[in-house]
Amino acid sequence: MAPTLFTACNTLPPEEVVPPKGGLSVEPAPTLFDSPLALPSGGAGLFISFEGIDGAGKSTHIAGLADAFEAQGRVVTLTREPGGTPLAEKLRATVLGDPMDALTEVLLIFAARRDHLVNVIAPALLRGEVVLCDRFTDATFAYQGAGRGFDLNVLSTLERWVQCDEGLLGDPAGNKPMKPEIETVIEPHLTVWFDLPPEEAAFRLAGTRVPDKFESQPVEFFRRVAQGYADRQQGHPERFARIDASQARDVVWQAVLQVFIGKGWLS
Ligand code: TMP
């Protein structure tokens, strides 16, 4: 189920929450992109994220999709998280290289995400481009939430603050106080999740490169991360497309392509 206004904005454990008199709205949080062709600005941008544990093999397929969209005349913005802007890339190097406590890590990742949204993702969507983003907020729920055990309610609150449309989408006053309880939350139209057993991912990664802070985690960490992705899919079934990434690369590519053809985004 999509996060509701209630769950997303409340940082108290559920048992401590006292519903206000007159009832509590449990409507799903509004998302900006109910339909890829219905941006408030009239633009027709498409925002697609790609997820999976390290070693799941998403990179070649993201590049293939960029080519496929460009072959059909679309302008593609290829980007990644953490990263995608000069500031966010600096934060990426810190997050992936330096030891830090989980809250510091979460705040740096969301700071990078805000800068990326303001400077790259929202402007590209306003121009009507296809944004292919290698990881987005589901990774934070999977790695920091499920992997490191960070509080999911706090992640939901940060998600609403950082992905709030206030200050984005043509509003130059990015320093206005945000009202995440009433603003619209930006999230991908589609999240392609490359699902691969952690043991297989570890086997594929072994010896391919110097592992970063996350890649060098034990397989138990990636079991929790994989479960975190499965939980996110359950919470957002309409947004997620699960791909069985244990198949041969060509078979995986055909499966990815079918998702986009099925949505009418590629032919
Ligand atoms: P990448 O190697 O696929 O570019 O991802 C970078 C690493 O950062 C990867 O191990 C996953 C991790 N990560 C998080 O822990 N939290 C996040 O929110 C994101 C976007 C990535």
Q: Which letter, b or e, does each residue of 43-60 get, where b requires 16 or more Cβ atoms within 10 Å of its Cβ?
A: bbbbbbbbbbbbbbbbee
Sign of dihedral through CA atoms 50, 53, 56, 57?
A: positive
**Mean pLDDT within 83-109:** 97
In whole angstroms, what is the distance from residue 154 CA to residue 158 CA? 6
In whole angstroms, what is the distance from residue 190 CA to residue 237 CA? 10
pLDDT at 29 over 90: no
Specify the pLDDT at position 13.
32
Summarize pLDDT for 97-153 with one digit per residue, the tens: 999 999 999 999 999 999 999 999 999 998 999 999 999 999 999 999 999 999 999
Choose one of 62, 214, 221, 229 to mutate for the ligand 1 pocket test, by most ligand atoms within 8 angstroms of C-beta.
214
pLDDT at 73 over 90: yes
Summarize pLDDT for 148-188 with one digit per residue, the tens: 999 999 999 999 989 987 766 555 555 555 565 566 789 99
pTM above threshold 0.75: yes
Write out the DSSP string of 5-39: HHHHH--S-GGG--PPTT----PBPPBTTSSTT--
Is the link from the previous residue into 198 a cis peptide, with omega within 30 of 0? no
Residues with CB under 6 A from ligand 1: 54, 80-82, 96, 109, 134-135, 139-140, 143-144, 214-215
Specify the pLDDT at position 25.
37
In whole angstroms, what is the distance from residue 69 CA to residue 48 CA? 12
Rounded distance from Cα 2 to ligand 1 centre (Å)? 23
Half-sphere exposure of 158 (CA within 13 A, CB side): 24
**Mean pLDDT within 227-249:** 97
